[in-house]
Amino acid sequence: MAAALVVAGVVVSSCGTADQGVVARRSDSASVDTGPQETVPTNTDPSNPLEPTKDTTPPPADGGIIDFGDAKPPQPYDNYLNAAFADVTQFWTDNFSTVYEGSFEPVSGIYALYPGRTPEPESCAGPVPYEEVQGNAFYTTCGDIIVYDDAELLPGLVEKLGAAAVGVVAAHEYGHAIQARSGVFDLDLPTVDTEQQADCFAGAWAAHVARGESDLLTFDDNDVKGGIIAMIEVRDPPGFDVVADPSGHGSAFDRVGAFQEGFLNGIERCAGFIDSPYPRVDLAFSTQEEIDTAGNMPYADIVLALPKALDTFWVPTLQASGVTFTAPTLQAFTPGSAAPSCDGRAADDLTNDATYCVDTNTIVYDEVFVQDLYSRLGDLSFGYPIAGAYSDAVQVALTSSLTGEERVLLNDCLVGAWIVDIVPSGEFDADGNQVATNPAQEILLSAGDLDEAVLTAVALGDEAASTNVVGTAFEKIDSFRSGVLGGMSACQSRI
- Expressed as residue numbers, the domain containing 364 is 297-492
Total domains present in the chain: 2
Is a pLDDT exceeding 50 seen at residue 97? yes
Please give the Cα distance from 280 to 113 (Å, whole number).
33
Together in a domain, 256 and 382: no
pLDDT digit string, tens, across residues 57-76: 444 445 579 999 998 999 99
Together in a domain, 109 and 54: yes
Together in a domain, 91 and 235: yes
**What residues form DSSP beta bridges with 59?**
none
Together in a domain, 287 and 306: no
Whether residue 313 is contained in a domain is answered as: yes
**Domain end: 291, 308, 340, which one?**
291
Instruction: Count other C-beta atoms under 10 Å from residue 442's C-beta.
Output: 15
Together in a domain, 230 and 342: no
Together in a domain, 181 and 118: yes
**Confidence band (pLDDT; 50, 70, 90) for 49?**
very low
Tell me the percentage of the chain whose pLDDT exceeds 90: 63
Whether residue 4 is contained in a domain is answered as: no
pLDDT digit string, tens, across residues 334-376: 998 888 999 999 888 899 999 999 999 999 999 999 999 999 9
Residue 237 pLDDT: 61
Residue 239 pLDDT: 60
Is a pLDDT exceeding 70 seen at residue 26? no
**Domain end: 237, 261, 291, which one?**
291
Together in a domain, 269 and 364: no
Please give the Cα distance from 209 to 316 (Å, whole number).
46
Chain-centre distance for alpha carbon 467: 22
Q: Considering only residues 43 and 278, tell me which one the structure prediction assigns the higher pLDDT.
A: 278
Residue 126 pLDDT: 94
Q: What is the mean pLDDT of residues 107-114?
A: 98
Whether residue 311 is contained in a domain is answered as: yes
Is a pLDDT exceeding 90 seen at residue 266? yes
Q: What is the mean pLDDT of residues 16-22?
A: 33
Residue 280 pLDDT: 77
Whether residue 159 is contained in a domain is answered as: yes
Q: Are 279 and 14 in contact (CB under 8 A)?
A: yes
Together in a domain, 229 and 327: no
Whether residue 6 is contained in a domain is answered as: no
**Confidence band (pLDDT; 50, 70, 90) for 469?**
confident
**Confidence band (pLDDT; 50, 70, 90) for 29?**
very low
Whether residue 2 is contained in a domain is answered as: no
**Domain end: 291, 309, 329, which one?**
291
Together in a domain, 274 and 307: no
Residue 405 pLDDT: 94
Residue 15 pLDDT: 29
Whether residue 8 is contained in a domain is answered as: no
Together in a domain, 253 and 303: no
Name which of 123-127, 309-313, 338-342 the model is least confident about.
338-342
Q: pLDDT averaged over the chain? A: 84
Q: Considering only residues 329 and 14, tell me which one the structure prediction assigns the higher pLDDT.
A: 329
Please give the Cα distance from 311 to 1 (Å, whole number).
16
Whether residue 366 is contained in a domain is answered as: yes
Q: Considering only residues 64 and 302, tell me which one the structure prediction assigns the higher pLDDT.
A: 302
Together in a domain, 473 and 443: yes
Together in a domain, 368 and 252: no
Q: What is the mean pLDDT of residues 143-151?
A: 97
Q: Considering only residues 466 and 270, tell me which one the structure prediction assigns the higher pLDDT.
A: 270
pLDDT digit string, tens, across residues 195-247: 999 999 999 999 999 999 999 999 998 899 988 988 888 776 666 655 555 55
